[in-house]
Every structure is written in structure tokens, then in C-alpha cells.
Amino acid sequence: MGSNAFGTIFKITTWGESHGKAIGVVIDGCPAGVRFEESEINAALALRAPGKGPYTSPRAETDRAEILSGVFEGRTTGAPICILIPNKDADSTHYEPIKDHLRPGHAHYTYLEKYGIFDYRGGGRSSARETAARVAAGALAKKFLEHHNIQVLAYIKQMGSVEAVIETHDVEHLRTLTYQSPLFCPDPQATSAMAALIEKAKREGDSLGGMVEFMALSVPAGVGDPVYEKLEAKLAHAMMSLPASKGFEIGSGFRSVLMRGSEHNDRFFKESGEIRTHTNHAGGTLGGISTGMPIIGRVAFKPTSSIMKPQETLTTSGEPTSFNLPVGSRHDPCVAIRAVPVVEAMTALVLVDALLLNRCARL
Amino acid sequence: MGSNAFGTIFKITTWGESHGKAIGVVIDGCPAGVRFEESEINAALALRAPGKGPYTSPRAETDRAEILSGVFEGRTTGAPICILIPNKDADSTHYEPIKDHLRPGHAHYTYLEKYGIFDYRGGGRSSARETAARVAAGALAKKFLEHHNIQVLAYIKQMGSVEAVIETHDVEHLRTLTYQSPLFCPDPQATSAMAALIEKAKREGDSLGGMVEFMALSVPAGVGDPVYEKLEAKLAHAMMSLPASKGFEIGSGFRSVLMRGSEHNDRFFKESGEIRTHTNHAGGTLGGISTGMPIIGRVAFKPTSSIMKPQETLTTSGEPTSFNLPVGSRHDPCVAIRAVPVVEAMTALVLVDALLLNRCARL
Amino acid sequence: MGSNAFGTIFKITTWGESHGKAIGVVIDGCPAGVRFEESEINAALALRAPGKGPYTSPRAETDRAEILSGVFEGRTTGAPICILIPNKDADSTHYEPIKDHLRPGHAHYTYLEKYGIFDYRGGGRSSARETAARVAAGALAKKFLEHHNIQVLAYIKQMGSVEAVIETHDVEHLRTLTYQSPLFCPDPQATSAMAALIEKAKREGDSLGGMVEFMALSVPAGVGDPVYEKLEAKLAHAMMSLPASKGFEIGSGFRSVLMRGSEHNDRFFKESGEIRTHTNHAGGTLGGISTGMPIIGRVAFKPTSSIMKPQETLTTSGEPTSFNLPVGSRHDPCVAIRAVPVVEAMTALVLVDALLLNRCARL
Amino acid sequence: MGSNAFGTIFKITTWGESHGKAIGVVIDGCPAGVRFEESEINAALALRAPGKGPYTSPRAETDRAEILSGVFEGRTTGAPICILIPNKDADSTHYEPIKDHLRPGHAHYTYLEKYGIFDYRGGGRSSARETAARVAAGALAKKFLEHHNIQVLAYIKQMGSVEAVIETHDVEHLRTLTYQSPLFCPDPQATSAMAALIEKAKREGDSLGGMVEFMALSVPAGVGDPVYEKLEAKLAHAMMSLPASKGFEIGSGFRSVLMRGSEHNDRFFKESGEIRTHTNHAGGTLGGISTGMPIIGRVAFKPTSSIMKPQETLTTSGEPTSFNLPVGSRHDPCVAIRAVPVVEAMTALVLVDALLLNRCARL
């Protein structure tokens, strides 16, 4: 299988480079009958659009997606859906001077080692620009989830040492708080503290790491697959395929190392006829299959590798040199912010695939 | 794709239940010409065998694997290799009384919800017994890696609050220290402290969480795939498909949330003609492709869900009841220990697949 | 994907060599709840068993399949089902003398060129013995089809110049006639003529080609997939993966080259509330998707390559030599006969997969 | 896997409807370093362009393909290659009147049964228009084959009862003769006879069936896979996935039913140091793997289902009616002609994939 596809039944294949003519995605395997239109993609793309706030790169791209196939009279037909997103404002001349410099913390070196050729303009295929195609596909996935009354949400849980405190249990309220924050952080106080951190980092030409929390609600029990296709394995695969992600955890995650079984085991009980658990250390899955409790996990993102400080490095021919980001190049001081809608999209994509596969679980 | 297969070119499909006649694996896609024999599988299985130390379950299974196909005159032929591991000592009568109790922290409930039927004997397919098949396949994967002079290793990095200190940089020395420890922990002092923790937990009928660290050395730069098949994404998928795993991280992992780009970016330099980096916060990959530096990461395991204390739960028909582990059932107080050889095997399987896929990277 | 697997959702992986310890199949993706037992596999295997009649090889193998996993209390659990078929009566010593001779019309040469190693004992993996594993998996596929009231059937349509005349339209009557014939030919007169052909060929140490016709009845309209996964494409793939098959056709097949559109187009009409077509030149599919009419097609098999006459050939080192089949080696004068139950099994496997995939066709 | 993808390593996914905005293909898995430009795609598309001769539909589409990604400085980078082909001249208003009529011999009915919705404009996804995307991908596949000095070629072997006689053994001469014929038939006399057949059929508002022969030369021995991925199985899958194809055969194909083993077996001999066979009844493969002899086979195409005569049929609601092709709709009297470049493209795609997979055959 090529390395640009994700999913088993609801399968996406993304294509396009940061500074090429366009990027896009083909969705093969979407059931027929889903109402879907371009405006829904563009609304989703607007969320991740840079320049929306002072804390993301000012690159002025107002993405306008085009559905080229697979939708007829407003509904999916079962045919592959190709979504095209033209690249605007992609002046790549300023990448010329650094095309022979190994960018610290960047895929430039490894792509060259693997392929012997690299589209250095804006990072080419390794650019976060690719994630716009994931968000476009995620918009369709969410339409499918709506029919199953499943909600997915992601937000900034931590940036540097500032951790957000989540006080509400109502997903729509949480969503509102998240979108009200220029940092996608549902905790207003934490948002202010994080904003200060970013300002400081920007002044110093530096960048920050961050953590994104994701959740899926109203997923019925019994969704997901055992052994190698566990829900948490697919979610981990999805999240670790994102640029700059360094870690994934579900439920109690790494904290479970410090716990004991008597504490970690979530006790079953019955609430208004439904089987629930008192706690949710599992994070909504047992043995890779959903329990009916909220699916919740976190993704760690490293600080943006593109910083404004000069860094020692090598040329592609191995000569020592100093790497300086070209004047005019634009980068987010914290990639985790822009990653929020992408993490949400990947959560949706994993769930749609699991729900479809579940149709074949029983005779 | 079925949920019991892993890998793209070097593809394994495992089968078998904990208390069935046998478990096994079919490896489809192994190149011809690899020297391989049953003794190598059994040596690998012996490492994960329970009862090897006082800290794992006393279930006396001395696994004897049988190669049924794909090896001729001591070498693989390119044909699928079926490895069968008979189940011994599998008295399942004592599971009868609890077959209608939802086991806290266990896949019993979710399998029932998904399939409407569950082989409750010893956990059936959800049992850690399945991982023996992964270790068998991993033994072949390691034979392939040997030809590329690549070493893989895993060990206990933390148990409860006790963290191991790794002082050596020599992988073979580290391996020796690891295998000398009944807990697969290369730090003798930490081993003693962890042993004490386990004794205490056992006395109290409880269990412990743990963290396994894995590494791969001498992987050349340029191995792995971009976007959805990043090396870290496949490793995360592999590790999160293990029973009881709750988190995965590579390189700086979750610590990177607290770091800044100027600190996190690994600087390139040249050492005896080789391109290296001064630090390795990346953990050996950039953009999903290997840098040539050691690939290193960690997996978090929750405490064993099977504990000796009574726990409140429900029957499959939803009636409140108390769950008591049947007399005579045997479980590890810390699953992370037995997971060590499995994490090592999964690391090898991911790398073999990436190395084979790389043969198609260039014209 | 490995070359030993077939199917997308209902996926089989076969393994084992003709003269190895055993052969078998792992079925991954079978829905839970299908009643299935070993006796049903053995009944299916008995049909293809050589030595059942005077017209197939006398190799006395009474296959006894064993279900090693995936079935609990008589029903499939959703877990992978491993079926093992031990190899009996497999003396391979008489293959020694010819191991360095390129067998005319045989895969010996091509396997050596590809892999550099060949398990020459009885043809190893290239032997028709592998098809027993397909029949075992097909037995389970048929159990699934029974729940959808779908019947599949195959029989000898032609051998040499003798063509069978099918007079009944009742599938069960056709099945009875087929099984009554030692050649799986539902036309008694043709059976006698074919038997005479075989006797003559055997006397002359030669072999015969044959054609197998297959059909599937009561397949509802709308089953199958468009473009690259057309029902006829998957059937063709399935049949052309059989040893010795040289051609595949559906409906009017190659005869359609001589037809005109006005003649070939099947006219739609309504019969007792059902949409049918007056003719069935399409063979039950349009655009790769079932029409509700019988799915019918044919597979051409070349004459057995193993004949009793000496044949000029080369040694593996390229020296001219004469190839003589070892004394005591046993072969069918017409492979098409033994292929009948295998063609039936492959038809069932293709349909089960298409039926399962169809569950994801609509919202 | 979605039904719109083909290939394992060199994987294509096509998208787009006949009368939508555009059609296209994404190629994922093409090795880096292949020189490739739009002009090469357009040259290939020009061959299949309708209106090139009097014997194909006059629809005036001069396809202009655009490479949107994956090619940098004239070479493939290893990234996915998206090729877009805008749809021109696609007035679909005249399809309105027949949108509720089941088109005889057409996928209209089966798509509706499967999906409950159908893009009736020009056949939507079931249109032969989709094959333009295959030809575009095939153009890249041929660039890869050139590096291995492998040639592929297809031509009209038969139309109605007129069969072409191939007298040359030189592939380039054969190619010249083929392209000189408005019918892609390398036999000038047969071309004239076929042209007469077409004229007659057109006058009568009818259509003709045809047979396309394909060949691949200079494929080294040892290419292809055993068991389920046999070269002939993949070729059959590829060809039977084409619109209107009803049959596939390789080498002696259906004629082998009439042959005897002593006649069919191709004898090995040595010619200028190379192992060859005197005859080539096998058609270039044994056991699914190439022998080094020419790979040759044939595909049968039914007569175009769209004819100018009125045909009895049903409405989508099941009422009897008469189907008349709308005035102004354009169709080829013999689809086999336009299929020639597509069969050639599919042959190339199958071979590229097999060559890449072969890189993993040995240690």
C-alpha cells in the first residue's frame, strides 16, 4: 500500500506539495447518500487557516476547496470523491538560498536520503500544508458521524508548562469555548497564559511544544477491532502520522505506569439501563473495542522546528554552515494550535472506518 | 483487511485462542534465502515464557514451535511460513463460573458487544497468549535484520515510580544486563526496587503498571515512509496493538511539550564521514524516515487487569455482582515484564517491512 | 500484500507445500455466528480427493482437516479460523533424480529464477495440493452463502472436443447429476465419451485439456463493485490464480466477439414483480455489479503438464537432457476434473466478499 | 480496499465521472527519479481520443492532462502524482429524458440497485471515459518499463468474424502497422474488411464485438508472483475490470481445452546462452511467473450496448417502455477499438507492479 493513503473501507489518499499547483484528497469507499457540499469543507478549512489569529503564521491563504467528483445532486454516490484545494500565495523563490542546507529538525535530510530528490519549496510533501487535505476528508467523515449522533472534538490541553483545566462535561459547550479561543484552548485563563508564552517565544525567535486532547462521544459499545486493528492502535497510527507529533496516549496513558490494577480497573455499573463504568481510565476502549464511554486521548507535539534563530548545520554535501530561515518565510510558533482541527479530523476518519467495518462483524 | 494481520510486504497473520488447541502465525512475504530454524523460535519464546522468574505467572508452558511450511533445507523459500505453537496445560474449567461476569478492565464485555459471542476461556483471542505468535514471527524478522547489521532491543524502563538508569551506550552490554535481570531491567538497583514493589503488590493481590523502552541501532538514514506510513506511526500502531498498552512516544515524546525549538532541534554535524546529530530528541526519525541515529521510544502498560481482590461488576445480563478471579488462575502482577520481548519483536517487524518497502523508493 | 492471500473482508491466507508436514488456511474476517464444523470441510475435501474415481490420480489421501481456532461451541467467533490439513502418503524420494531437470510446462524453472531456491518435492507450493486449502475455506464461505439462500455450482462443460449438454435449469438436479458423474460432468452421455478420451490418453501416457463452467444462483441485484473490483474481475482473478488455468469468460464471453449489440443486449422485463432479462448474455453482471440473473462463466484448463512420455528439456545448469516422470509419481490425465470443486470454492469466496463489502455501499 | 484502486506497490486510484468537472488519477508508490512530463500523457491520450478516425465517436475532446503533484524538475519525487484531465464538451441535457429508463446492457440498473443513486449523465462513473485516467497512469508505467527495456503493445486481433493475421515478429514494426490503422489493427487487409463491417453496422444503427491482443516483450524470467498474485491472474483482473470486457485468455487460452499435454508443453532449449522454449503455448508464464518468453494474451469485448435501434425495457419504477438513445448522443460502433490503448496501459501497470514486488523476492 502506498504511504499516502489512510483507512480500510473509508479510504483517503492525499496528494500535493506545499508550493505546488494544488493539494487534494481522493476519498474512496464513502457510502452513497451522504449530503455533502463544498461550503462544509471550506468551513472546516477556515478553522485551520493560518492568519486567523495573531498566534499562527500570517500566510494569507483563504482555502477554497472544489469537489471534482463523487457528489451528485448534493449527495455522495458511492463513487470516489476528489477534493482539490488550489495553492495560493506560494512564492517559493526565498527557499532557493537554503535548498542545499539541511534544515535542523526537518525532513529535508531524510527525504533526500530516501529518494535522492527533494521538493524543497516550503517543505514540499513534508509540509503541514498536507494536513489541509486531511481536514477536507474529515469534514465528510463528520457528516457520516452525524448520522450516528457521534461527536468528535479536539483542543489544546497544554502548551509549555501551562495546562488547561476542563470544567464542563457538555461537548457542545466545550466546543464553543474551544472555538472562542484564538489558541483552540477551552480554558480562558490558560489561553491568556499560553498567549503570553507565545509572545515571549516569538520575541526570542523561538517556538513551543504543545499537547492536544481529543475525544469522541456517543460511540456505542462494540465498535473497533481486536488485535492489530485496535481502535487505540489506529488512533495512534493516525496521530503519529501528523507532522511534529512525538507521542500518543489513550485514557490514563503514561500515568497508568504509576497506577495499580485495583485503582485502574474501571468498575461496571448500570445507569438508566445502560452499562457504564464509574471511572474511565481505559479511555473508552477495552481490547481495542469501544466500551460506550467517551473515547479520550492526547497527542504530544514538538516545538516548531522552523525558528528565527541561526542554527549550526551541514550543507547537503556535508560542509558545516549556519542555517538561517529565509526572510519572509512564515511559521507558527506552536504547531500544536494548527494541529487541533487535524487531530479532530483524524479522530473522525478512524471512527468512520471502524463503524463501517463493524457492519461485517456478525452474520 | 482483517484485524489479525500486520505488515505490508513482510506480512504476518496470527491466529489461535489462549485455551484452544494451538496458536500460530503465517508469515507471507518473507524474502527467500533467510536461514531459519525452529530452535531460534523456541529460544525467543523461552524469553517471554511465564514462570521463568518469580515475578511472572507460574503457568508452566514450555512452548515448542513447529515450522509447518516455507522453509526448505534450512532456508526460507519465499513461500508462506506457518509456525504452530501448541497450547499446553490449558485447563479452562475454572473459567466456567465467571463466564457470565463482566471482567473489570478486560475485553470480555467489548467482544460480546461486537460479536455476540466470546470464547471466555482464558480470554480467548484477547489473551496475551497471542503475543507468543508475534515473538515467533519476530525471531524471523531479526534474522533478516542481522543481514543488515541492525540490532533491536527492549527493556523495562520504569515500574510504578521506580525508573531504571541506563548508563551504557553499548547495545550488547545493555542486552546482557537486561537478560540477567528477572524483570528484563538492565539496571540492577532498579531491578531490586521493582522486585520489592512486585512482592508487595502480590501480597496485596494487586498489580502494577510499567514502561518498556525499545531501540533499534544501525538503521541507515532514509528508511521509512512519509505521511501516513511514517516509521513512528507504524511503531505506534504496532505497540498500541499490544494488550494493556496505553501510550507510545518516540524520542523526546511527551517531554517535548515542555521544550522549545532551539532546544529540541537536533544539530547536524559530521563524525568520521557520517552525518550525525549532537542530540537525538527526534528519536531517530524526521518526517517518518530514519536519520541514521538510534531509533528510541517508550510504551506505557497499564497494571494487569486481573487482580486477586474482589471487584464489583455486572453479569452479562446486567445484574450487579462481585467479580472474583477463579482459584488457580495465574496472572502476572506486571504485564510490562512479559511485554518486553514482544515490544522487541514488534520493533523488528516494523523495521523489516520498512527496509523491504525501501527497495522500491528509487528507480 | 503477500501473494498467498485472497479476499478483502473475508480474507484467506493459504500456506503449505505438497510434500511438507501439512497445508492449511487462515480465514480472517469471517463474521461471527456462522455454524461450522470439521465434518463439513472433510465432506468438501472428499469431493476433490484423488482416487475417488478411475480418472484421477490414485494418490491415496483421505484428508482430515482440523479447525485449530476461531470456532467456539460450533460457531465462528469473529476470530481468525485456522484450518490444518496434514499431508499423508508423501514419499518424496522419487523426486530426487529429477530435481535438477526443468520440468516442461511446470513452475519449477520460474520459481528458481524468482527465488533462487525451489522445494522440488511434488512441486512444493506450485502443486495443485494447495487448492485443498481453498476448498476448505470455500466450505465456510458456502455456509455463509446458505444464509443468503445463494447456491454455487461448477461442473465439467467440455473435455477435448466433447462438450456437455445441460438440459435442466434446476440447480439441485444439476448438482445431483454432476456428483453422480466420476468426472463431475452432469451430462451422462458426455461423461461416457470423456471417459473414453481419458482411457485413450492414459494408454498413450498423455493428458487432456478441459473446461469448467461455474454458476451462482439467487444472487440479488446490486452485489459487486464498480471499476477495478468488478465481480467479473474478481472472478477472473480467482480462476486465473488456479494452477493450469489459461482462460476465463463470463456470460457470452468470447462468443460476444461475433455478436451485435442488438443481439447481445439483454432486454429487461418484469416477471412476478421481479426485474429480469429475457436473455443472459451478460452472465449476471452489468458494470461489475450483479443483475439478479444467474452469474455464469467458464474457465479453460490446459492439459496436465506431467505426462508419461519422455520430453526433451534442460538441466538447471542448462545442459540438454530428457525428462522422464519418476516411476511411482501419480498425476491426473485431466486436471480440469479435480479443479471442479475448487472453481466452486473460488466462486463462493468471491461472492461472500462482495456480499460483505455491500454492507458498506449505503449510508 | 476501495473499488477505484489498482496495484500493490505502484498503486493507482482513479476518480471522476463522464460528465463531471474532470476525471483523474493519483499514482501512489511510483519510485523517485522517473523522467515524466505532461506531453507524454497527452500523446498517450491522443491515441485513444475519439474522433481520431471515422470509426470512433465524433465527441470532440482533445484531452489536456495536468500534473498537479509528485513531479519536480521533470522527475518523479516518490510523492503521489495527481493527474487531472478536465472534461470538455460535456452537455448532459439530452440525458434528462432517459434518466428514468433502464438502459439495456448498461450499468444504470445495477448501480441504482447497489447505491440507490446514479449519476446518469453519460454513464457517470461506469462510462468508458474513466479509462482515460488508466491511459494517463499507463504513460508513467511505460516510462518505468523503458528503463527495463520492456515493450508492451496491444492491437485489434478480431472484429466480428474478421481476424487479423500477424506476420511480423518485430514489435516496433507491429506497433507502426497498428498505429497506421484507424482501427489499431496491424493487418491492412483485415482493417479494410473490419471497416466495411463497421460501416454496415452503423448504417443499421447496430454495434460490433471485438478482440484485443496484448503482448509484453523482453520481460526477464522470474517476474510475477505465485498462487493468488499470478501474473495471469493480475492481467485477467486488469482486463476484466475494463468496461464491456467479457473474456480473458493467456497463451493458448481456450484452445488448450482441445490440446494434449505432449502438444501443449513448451520444450526448453538454449539459444545463444538463453533458456527459451520452442513453442509458447504458456503465453510467457508458468505458475504465474514469467518464463522470459513473450507474454501474450487476448481480451474479448462485447458489442457496444448503446445502439441506435429502439429497445424494449423498463422504467426505474418498473413500467414497460421503449428505450431510444437520445439524439446527439455519440457512441463507438465497436468499443474494442478505443480499448486498445487501455489494454496496453493495463498491461504496463501490471508489469510495473510485478517488477517492483520482485525487488523483495530475495534476501
pLDDT score for B61 = 56
List the single residue in C16, C28, C77 with the smallest CB-CB distance to B117.
Answer: C77
Percent of chain A with pLDDT over 70: 95
What 3-state DSSP class applies to A15?
Answer: strand
Count other C-beta atoms under 10 Å from residue A159's C-beta.
Answer: 32
Which residues, given as ranges, of chain B have pLDDT below 50? 51
Percent of chain C with pLDDT over 90: 86
Cα B270 versus chain centre, distance: 35
Integer angstrom CA distances of residue A112 from A17, A122, A314, B221: 15, 15, 14, 10
Q: What phi and psi, each to the nearest 5 degrees, are found at residue D26?
A: -115, 125
Q: Between chains, do C119 and B28 touch, taking CB under 8 Å as contact?
A: no
pLDDT score for A90 = 61
Mean pLDDT calculated for residue range A311-327: 90
Give dist(CA A124, CA B318) in Å, integer. 55
> What's the whole-model pTM score?
0.97
Q: Between chains, do D363 and B147 touch, taking CB under 8 Å as contact?
A: yes
| Among candidate residues A55, A24, A22, A16, the one with its CA nearest the CA of residue A41 | A24
Rounded to two decimals, the ipTM of the complex is 0.97
First-last CA distance in chain C: 29
Q: Which amino acid is at B178?
A: T
Burial zone of A274 (CB within 10 Å; 0-12 exposed, 13-18 middle, 19+ buried) = exposed
Q: Between chains, do D31 and B359 touch, taking CB under 8 Å as contact?
A: no
Task: Detail the DSSP E strand segments found in chain A.
Answer: 5-6, 11-15, 22-28, 66-67, 71-72, 75-76, 81-86, 151-159, 162-163, 210-217, 245-250, 268-271, 274-277, 285-286, 289-290, 295-301, 311-314, 320-323
Cβ distance D331 to B1 under 8 Å? Answer: no
Counting runs of H as helices and runs of E as strands, what totals does chain B give?
A: 8, 18
Please give, rounded to a whole number of angstroms, the shortest distance from the CA of A232 to a CA of chain C.
19
Mean pLDDT calculated for residue range C327-356: 93
Percent of chain D with pLDDT over 70: 95
- pLDDT (tens digit per residue) in C110-129: 999 999 998 888 889 999 99
Q: What phi and psi, each to the nearest 5 degrees, are found at residue C137?
A: -65, -35
Q: Between chains, do A24 and D117 touch, taking CB under 8 Å as contact?
A: no
CA angle, corner A325, sides to A320 and A329, nearest 5? Answer: 155
Mean pLDDT calculated for residue range A301-306: 95
Cα D256 versus chain centre, distance: 24
Please give, rounded to a whole number of angstroms, the shortest distance from the CA of B72 to a CA of chain D.
14
What 3-state DSSP class applies to D246?
Answer: strand
List the single residue in A112, A246, A287 with the smallest CB-CB distance to B107.
Answer: A287
Mean pLDDT calculated for residue range A155-181: 95
pLDDT score for D61 = 56
Please give, rounded to a whole number of angstroms, the shortest distance from the CA of A331 to a CA of chain D.
23
Please give, rounded to a whole number of angstroms, the shortest distance from the CA of A33 to a CA of chain C.
6
What 3-state DSSP class applies to B344?
Answer: helix
Please give, rounded to a whole number of angstroms, the shortest distance from the CA of D28 to a CA of chain A.
5
pLDDT score for B50 = 53
Q: Between chains, do B20 and C77 touch, taking CB under 8 Å as contact?
A: no
- pLDDT (tens digit per residue) in C156-192: 999 999 999 998 889 999 999 999 999 999 999 999 9
Q: Between chains, do A256 and B300 touch, taking CB under 8 Å as contact?
A: yes
**Chains in touch with D (≥3 Cβ pairs < 8 A):** A, B, C
User: For residue D54, is pLDDT > 70?
Assistant: no
Residue with cell 446514479: D118
List the single residue in B110, B239, B268 with the smallest CB-CB distance to A286.
Answer: B110
List the single residue in A1, A33, A79 with the smallest CB-CB distance to C363.
Answer: A33
pLDDT score for C53 = 59
Task: Give residues with Cβ within 8 angstroms of C168, minimum separation 6.
Answer: C174, C177, C186
DSSP lists the bridge partners of residue B35 as: B75
Cβ distance D172 to D217 under 8 Å? Answer: no
Give dist(CA A333, CA C345) in Å, integer. 60
Counting runs of H as helices and runs of E as strands, what totals does chain A give?
A: 8, 18
| Among candidate residues A109, A323, A299, the one with its CA nearest the CA of residue A209 | A299
Q: Between chains, do A356 and C360 touch, taking CB under 8 Å as contact?
A: yes
**Chains in touch with C (≥3 Cβ pairs < 8 A):** A, B, D
- Would you list the DSSP string of A269-280? EEETTEEEES--
pLDDT score for D327 = 72
Q: Tell me what the pLDDT averaged over chain D comes to.
A: 93
- pLDDT (tens digit per residue) in C89-111: 667 777 888 888 999 999 999 99
- pLDDT (tens digit per residue) in D16-53: 999 999 999 999 999 999 999 999 999 999 987 654 56
pLDDT score for C75 = 97
pLDDT score for A290 = 98
Q: Between chains, do D207 and C288 touch, taking CB under 8 Å as contact?
A: no
Q: Between chains, do A109 and B291 touch, taking CB under 8 Å as contact?
A: yes
pLDDT score for A51 = 47
pLDDT grade, residue D56 (50/70/90)? low
Burial zone of C204 (CB within 10 Å; 0-12 exposed, 13-18 middle, 19+ buried) = middle
- pLDDT (tens digit per residue) in A250-295: 999 999 999 999 999 999 999 999 999 999 999 999 999 999 999 9
- pLDDT (tens digit per residue) in D112-137: 999 999 888 888 999 999 999 999 99
- pLDDT (tens digit per residue) in D284-338: 999 999 999 999 999 999 999 999 999 999 999 999 999 988 777 777 899 999 9
pLDDT score for D348 = 98
Give dist(CA C228, CA A79) in Å, integer. 12
Q: Which residues of A282-305 are buried (b: 16+ CB within 10 A; e: fewer)?
A: bbbbbbbbbbbbbbbbbbbbbbbb
